[in-house]
Amino acid sequence: MKQAERAPDFTLPDESGTPRRLTELLTAGPVVLFFYPAAMTAGCTTESCHFRDLSAEFAALGAQPVGVSPDPVDTQRRFSEAHDLGFPLLSDPDGAIASEFGVRRGFGPLRTKRHTFVIGTDRTVLAVIRSELRMSVHADKALDVLRSHRQA
């Protein structure tokens, strides 16, 4: 999935087991869809908590972060509760959605790459943020993209 492409619509269960559809999430504003390899790990906790810490800034821009990992619903729930995340964490256990977005690895213990997609309300990908090691860059760059898009 590249910038300016149209994101595929999909439905995945969130941390409470409630099905969430991308097009429904987009009715409230842009979605910052961030894929992470594994809940409860140091890097993914740092990244997710950074999104949480910037939640007021995302809300001010009418956007919301939404996390996606291959973890099962109950693990997503524990992860969300442990860190009071306050945004949806979607469960993609077979990696089907990660594959559609081009962030699925073919091998290794961490099957999902750490990528973030800033998606406009019309499902256009406004930006793709890639960094496996710099956890805070995802939320920071997503905010920059949303701010510049809002001014345009």
pLDDT in tens, 63-120: 999 999 999 999 999 999 999 999 999 999 999 999 999 998 776 666 788 899 999 9
Report the pLDDT value the prediction gives residue 86, as an integer from 0 to 100.
Answer: 96
Of 13, 82, 18, nearest in space to 48 by CA: 82
Range of the domain at 36: 5-151
- Could you tell me the pTM of the whole model? 0.94
Catalytic residue among 12, 44, 73, 118: 44
DSSP secondary structure string for all residues of 28-81? TS-EEEEE-S-TTSHHHHHHHHHHHHTHHHHHHTT-EEEEEESS-HHHHHHHHH
Indicate the DSSP class of residue 103: -
The residue type at 106: G
Q: With bands split at pLDDT 50, 70 and 90, how would you rate the model's confidence at 136?
A: confident
Per-residue pLDDT at 111: 79
pLDDT of residue 2: 87
Number of domains into which the chain is organized: 1
Say whether 49 is catalytic.
Answer: no
89 and 79 Cβ atoms separated by less than 8 Å: yes
User: Tokens 């961490």 correspond to what residue?
Assistant: 110
Provide the pLDDT for residue 152. 58
pLDDT band for 19, please (50, 70, 90 cuts): very high
High-pLDDT (> 90) share of the chain, %:
76
List the CATH number of the domain containing 89.
Answer: 3.40.30.10
Give, in order, the Cα–Cα distances in Å from 26 to each of 31, 75, 78, 132, 136. 6, 25, 25, 26, 23
* Predicted confidence band of residue 130 (pLDDT cuts 50, 70, 90): confident
Both tokens of 8, joined, read: 């595929």
Nearest Cα to 132, choosing from 113, 105, 116? 113
